[in-house]
Amino acid sequence: MVQLDVQPVEARLSIRESVERALSALVVSGELAPGTLVSVPTLAAQFDVSATPVREAMLELERRGFVEAVKNKGFRVTEVSDEELAHIVEVRQLLEPPAMERLATQFPQDRLEELTASANDIIAGAEGGDLRTYLEADVAFHLGLTAMLGNPLLVQMVSDLRSRTRLIGLTALLESGRLTDSAAEHLDLLRALSTGDAAGARRVMSHHISHVLGVWSGHPEDSADPVAAS
């Protein structure tokens, strides 16, 4: 059975939430590779918690399509085909770049300092080699920006699409030192938003999402940027 590099659970979260976040980050980043079989008792022992919150966390990951139940054995990490990933990216491109374009026209300047700190947290996660911090800070940053548009359904849809995305190339990027470069794009996005550069905000967000089919997915080169190419 695979030995996971897990961290202590966070007191401010429920045990289930903390376990789910940790496992989700491991699956998304590819540290817990597709096809890997894990069992609830083994995970509970590694997290030093009871089996119940681990089982609940695994059931939530199963609902998200990250794992599938294997009778009498546990859960197996599922694979996401290139086609599925392309479909996710296509829908994200339809939603997120236009959302950032609109936000640039109504960006709340009093939130800039707070958001800059959040962007720096993402960069710190990349520089420090902490993929869990990187991924959690990234999700919080983007969903926070999306929420500023005042459409909870949009936030829910973007959150769901992001929760389905696999970024199995992150570990290799981290080891090569290139993850910091993509982390810095969050500051580029904030710069466009805070200066009212709507076209720039859309372009940065589109390019950022394109990494999902490029270097973040383990491919050596980024996919073409649909905005830059148009």
Residues 47, 117 within the same domain: no
What residues make up the domain containing 166?
82-229
d(CA 1, CA 7): 18
3 lies in a domain? no
9 lies in a domain? no
CATH number of 101's domain? 1.20.120.530
Residue 30: pLDDT band by 50, 70, 90 thresholds? confident
Residue 227: pLDDT band by 50, 70, 90 thresholds? very low
7 lies in a domain? no
Q: What is the mean pLDDT of residues 164-180?
A: 71
With a threshold of 0.85, does the pTM exceed it?
no
Tell me the per-residue pLDDT of 67-118, one tens digit each, with 9 for 90 and over: 999 998 999 998 877 888 889 899 999 999 999 999 999 999 999 999 999 9
Domain count, the chain: 2
Residues 57, 90 within the same domain: no
Residues 93, 188 within the same domain: yes
Q: Which residue in 133, 123, 124 sits closest to 188, CA to CA?
A: 123
Higher pLDDT, 12 or 130: 130
CATH number of 59's domain? 1.10.10.10
> Pick from 77, 100, 116: which residue ends a domain?
77
